[in-house]
């Protein structure tokens, strides 16, 4: 299962064997019979390929002096306007890096709304400019070796072309501590992620690619004086505008919303209800029906919004499905989510590929205060709340598993946090939770759902995001902001029960619980006890002998696992008492390494 998207190789001279490797790599990234692998542009110094199903959005301009590829959607520009704008951008690229750093291109990118990547290749010089949207909603991975630049939407393209898989012990260990590698790190030592607000330029013969920062969001303490209801109203206006742009982008698309009993997808649906016709909502019932109450609330919301609602029951994912999920997600999302593959297949079978599937991703920023309850006095306070208290696996165990010193993991985290532009550690923490964690964990997860059809969320509209970030954090406490936000979008929707609390967010109980959780989060010992009491399924000892046996087998089969991980530590871990989150994340890493190695051998 492969993600659609671009694949690029730039070199002083591309040899025939390298060209053949590129073509073989993209041909091997076709997920099903609907996928096509095509060469967009090929010269002595550049190969630009693309793998996707026909409905996946992309356009190509073959200009006199440039090739321009746009992957994704720029919602605020109609196709005719987009082509003329891209001609301008291509010409501006010839004027040097300053146009990206702080010039016409940087301003142009900041005015756009949508998940997109623009690639501009000069036919004359071979120089390439890669221009993602400010939030980097279509993640890009790059590698520079032996004078060659490789860029792909997948690790797989780079691994296939280089013929090597090098695990980064720091990045892989961070996956087990945080749930994702920090900063630009990935699981692979020779592959980096292009960060939000950055662009990349490279000319064949250069010593290295140039990473140019065109936007860096800085978290600040907003002192807005307007009442919360008025603030929510302004946010709702931005949200409606973003919704309208998405609905009008491809008018032939079916509108489908992945609806849960939570608040995020409810906000997305409330925004759509005002501008879209014939909305379909889908909810999945887990194989063990543990989320039945969530499904019941989702049905109530759908009825209130007058949508065409369907509930699907998904099966317990098999080991093979987990392996498929791991390969599809490049190890980014936990195999605990593997059941979603079945849901997406059902959605595609029922509605086809010509749809936009809306999710509530990004909505966490509306309802949750991310500043710590107690102010941090130093970096150690921040490490305690981000790296130690909520850890998935113990830091010392992770270090032993990968044969590195615990101090190396602390140093890597400190360097990441120190790279943030904020000076206040409270704000650094809020930035980590709202942007870095959101970008690495949720945006990449949503992006990889585009395997089957296009997905969207109004929360990732740049105007909506920037408006949200300028709202005082205390407005979000006790559901104050989201309560007014929902009332502004669809009056009455805020009075339907919130599945997480089993009461409406307008109730007194809904005002008390968030304060209790915030207080608990500031007390590591109480937080640990509370988590075990409140969510035993995730944090209590979890038994799945079939999964454990499969992981032991996969680990023994993988040369990479045996070379990179301490086998005695791994065996002890798998035989010990793990909670569900720990087991699933260890399993995700083992399956990722096993499947990447298998793919490389094939």
pLDDT digit string (tens) for 556-581?
999 999 999 999 999 999 998 888 88
Half-sphere exposure of 57 (CA within 13 A, CB side): 23
3-state DSSP call for residue 372? coil
Angle at 465 between CA 482 and CA 458, to 5 degrees: 75
pLDDT over threshold 90, residue 51:
yes
The residue length of the chain stands at: 602
Q: Calculate the alpha carbon distances from 485 to 240, 263, 297, 438 in Å.
A: 11, 11, 19, 21
Lowest mean pLDDT segment, chosen from 48-52, 127-131, 543-547 = 543-547
**Predicted confidence (pLDDT) per residue in 334-393, tens digit:** 888 888 888 889 999 999 999 999 999 999 888 877 778 778 988 988 888 877 655 678
Whether the CB-CB separation of 167 and 175 falls below 8 Å is answered with no
**Predicted confidence (pLDDT) per residue in 271-328, tens digit:** 999 899 999 999 999 888 889 999 999 999 999 999 999 999 999 999 999 988 887 7
CB burial readout 512-524, b (16+ within 10 A) else e: ebbeeebebbbee
Q: Calculate the alpha carbon distances from 439 to 136, 148, 311, 362, 445 in Å.
A: 8, 27, 29, 9, 9
Give the E-state strand segments of 20-72 in sequence order.
36-42, 46-52, 58-62, 66-72
pLDDT over threshold 80, residue 256:
yes
In angstroms, the CA 152 to CA 50 distance is 10
Q: In the chain, pLDDT over 70 holds for what percent of residues?
A: 94
pLDDT for the residue numbered 537: 45
Helix (H) or strand (E) holding 90: helix 79-93
As beta bridge partners, residue 211 has: 200
Angle at 249 between CA 247 and CA 251, to 5 degrees: 65
Whether the CB-CB separation of 41 and 83 falls below 8 Å is answered with no
Lowest mean pLDDT segment, chosen from 54-63, 78-87, 119-128 = 78-87
Average pLDDT over residues 398-408: 96
3-state DSSP call for residue 48? strand
Nearby residues of 16 by Cβ (< 8 Å), 6 or more positions away: none
Half-sphere exposure of 283 (CA within 13 A, CB side): 27
3-state DSSP call for residue 277? coil
Angle at 379 between CA 378 and CA 382, to 5 degrees: 105
Mind listing the domains of the chain with CATH numbers? 5-213 (3.60.20.10), 228-368+438-522 (3.40.50.620), 379-427 (no CATH), 545-601 (no CATH)
pLDDT for the residue numbered 129: 97
Q: In the chain, pLDDT over 90 holds for what percent of residues?
A: 65
Nearby residues of 32 by Cβ (< 8 Å), 6 or more positions away: 53
pLDDT for the residue numbered 536: 44
pLDDT for the residue numbered 365: 85
Mean pLDDT for all residues in the chain: 90
pLDDT for the residue numbered 299: 98
pLDDT greater at residue 529 or residue 576: 576
pLDDT over threshold 70, residue 538:
no
In angstroms, the CA 259 to CA 269 distance is 8
pLDDT for the residue numbered 535: 42
Average pLDDT over residues 45-63: 96
In angstroms, the CA 258 to CA 260 distance is 7
pLDDT greater at residue 185 or residue 337: 185
pLDDT greater at residue 257 or residue 595: 257
pLDDT over threshold 90, residue 251:
no
The residue to which tokens 């909505």 are assigned? 363
- The 8 Å CB, 24+ separation contacts for 316-325 are 316/287, 316/288, 317/341, 317/342, 319/546, 319/547, 319/550, 322/547, 322/587, 322/591, 323/591, 323/594, 323/595, 324/1, 325/1
Strand 355-358, strand 454-456: pairing: parallel
pLDDT for the residue numbered 325: 85
pLDDT for the residue numbered 463: 95
pLDDT for the residue numbered 524: 59
Strand order in the sheet with 66-72: 58-62, 66-72, 116-122, 128-132, 198-202, 210-213
Lowest mean pLDDT segment, chosen from 162-166, 205-209, 333-337, 549-553 = 333-337
Whether the CB-CB separation of 411 and 402 falls below 8 Å is answered with no
In angstroms, the CA 478 to CA 418 distance is 31
3-state DSSP call for residue 498? strand
In angstroms, the CA 564 to CA 556 distance is 12
**Predicted confidence (pLDDT) per residue in 128-143, tens digit:** 999 999 999 999 999 9
In angstroms, the CA 381 to CA 295 distance is 39
Rama region for 164: left / alpha / beta (φ>0; ψ in -120 to 50; rest): beta
pTM higher than 0.85: yes
Whether the CB-CB separation of 481 and 231 falls below 8 Å is answered with yes
């Amino acid at each position: 299962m492969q993600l659609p998207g671009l694949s690029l190789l730039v070199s002083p001279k591309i040899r025939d064997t390298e060209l053949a490797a590129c073509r073989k790599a993209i041909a091997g990234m076709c997920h099903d019979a609907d996928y096509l692998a095509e060469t967009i542009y090929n010269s002595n110094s550049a190969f630009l390929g693309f793998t996707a199903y026909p409905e996946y959005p992309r356009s190509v301009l073959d200009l006199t002096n440039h090739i321009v590829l746009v992957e994704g959607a720029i919602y605020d520009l109609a196709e005719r306007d987009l082509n003329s704008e891209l001609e301008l951008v291509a010409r501006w690229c010839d004027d040097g890096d300053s146009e990206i750093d702080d010039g016409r291109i940087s301003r142009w990118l900041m005015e756009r709304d949508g998940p997109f990547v623009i690639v501009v290749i000069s036919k004359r010089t071979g120089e390439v400019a890669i221009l993602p949207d400010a939030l980097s909603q279509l993640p890009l991975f790059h590698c520079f070796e032996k004078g060659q630049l490789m860029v792909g939407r997948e690790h797989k393209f780079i691994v296939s072309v280089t013929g090597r898989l090098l695990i980064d012990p720091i990045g892989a260990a961070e996956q087990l501590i945080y749930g994702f590698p920090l900063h630009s790190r990935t699981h692979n030592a020779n592959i980096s992620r292009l960060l939000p607000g950055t662009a990349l330029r490279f000319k064949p013969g250069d010593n290295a690619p140039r990473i140019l920062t065109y936007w860096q969001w800085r978290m600040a303490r907003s002192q807005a004086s307007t009442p919360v209801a008025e603030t929510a109203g302004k946010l709702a206006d931005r949200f409606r505008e973003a919704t309208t742009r998405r609905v009008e982008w491809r008018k032939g698309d079916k509108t489908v919303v992945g609806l849960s009993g939570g608040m995020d997808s409810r906000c997305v649906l409330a925004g759509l209800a005002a501008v879209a016709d014939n909305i379909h909502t889908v909810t999945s019932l887990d194989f063990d029906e543990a989320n039945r109450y969530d499904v019941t609330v989702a049905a109530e919301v759908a009825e209130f919004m007058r949508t065409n609602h369907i509930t699907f029951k998904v099966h317990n994912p098999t080991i093979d499905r987990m392996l498929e999920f791991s390969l599809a997600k490049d190890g980014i999302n936990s195999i605990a989510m593997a059941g979603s593959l079945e849901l997406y297949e059902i959605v595609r079978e029922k509605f086809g590929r010509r749809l936009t599937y809306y999710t509530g991703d990004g909505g966490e920023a509306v309802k949750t205060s991310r500043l710590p309850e107690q102010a941090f006095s130093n970096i150690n306070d921040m490490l305690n709340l981000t790296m130690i208290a909520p850890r998935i696996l113990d830091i010392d165990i992770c270090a032993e598993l990968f044969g590195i010193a615990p101090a190396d993991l602390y140093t890597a985290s400190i360097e990441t946090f120190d790279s943030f532009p904020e000076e206040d550690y409270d704000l650094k923490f809020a930035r980590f939770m709202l942007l870095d964690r959101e970008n690495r964990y949720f945006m990449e997860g949503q992006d990889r759902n585009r395997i089957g059809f296009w997905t969207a969320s109004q929360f990732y509209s740049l105007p909506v995001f920037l408006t949200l970030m300028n709202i005082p954090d205390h407005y979000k406490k006790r559901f104050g902001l989201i309560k007014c936000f929902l009332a502004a979008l669809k009056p009455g929707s805020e009075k339907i029960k919130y599945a997480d609390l089993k009461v409406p967010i307008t109730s007194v109980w809904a005002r008390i619980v968030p304060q209790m959780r915030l207080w608990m989060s500031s007390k590591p010992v109480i937080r640990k006890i509370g988590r075990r009491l409140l969510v035993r399924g995730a944090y209590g000892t979890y038994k799945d002998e079939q999964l454990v046996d499969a992981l032991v087998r996969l680990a023994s089969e993988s040369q990479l696992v045996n070379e990179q991980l301490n086998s005695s530590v791994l065996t002890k871990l798998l035989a010990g008492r793990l909670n569900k989150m720990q087991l699933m994340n260890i399993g995700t890493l083992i399956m990722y390494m096993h499947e990447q190695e298998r793919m490389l051998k094939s």
